[in-house]
Structure 1
Amino acid sequence: LILILIPPVAQHPADTDAWYTRGVCLQELLALPTAILDFGRVVALQPTHWRAWYQVNY
């Protein structure tokens, strides 16, 4: 699934849904530092994204 999300993120770097979904997948794979970076990027792009805020502050 992560490989499927690379093209949307590369083509549309402001796609918060793609970044959030990739972060969740990375979290499940225990790649926590990279997942936290993805969640942080979502919060930077869309400060009202409550799910990403929860993940960053979890």
Structure 2
Amino acid sequence: MSEEVLDHMLSADAFYKGYRLIWYKVSSVWADPIILSHHGFEVYRWEYDPTMGEVWDKIKELEDSL
């Protein structure tokens, strides 16, 4: 298993607040999980390739719930 860091897809604000976006490559397809983490803890998982809007909406939802 390998991983690809997708932090470049996050806003600078989200990155500096401790969010990370990582694609865990288990096989050779995009069905592998993409994990949103906050300070090292998984906070959301997509089993498909999410749009940037979905990622940003999820971060906003998480921030609003704090």
TM-score normalised by length of structure 2: 0.28
More strand by share: 2
User: Which structure carries more helix by proportion?
Assistant: 1
Larger Cα-atom Rg: 2
Q: TM-score, normalised by structure 1?
A: 0.32
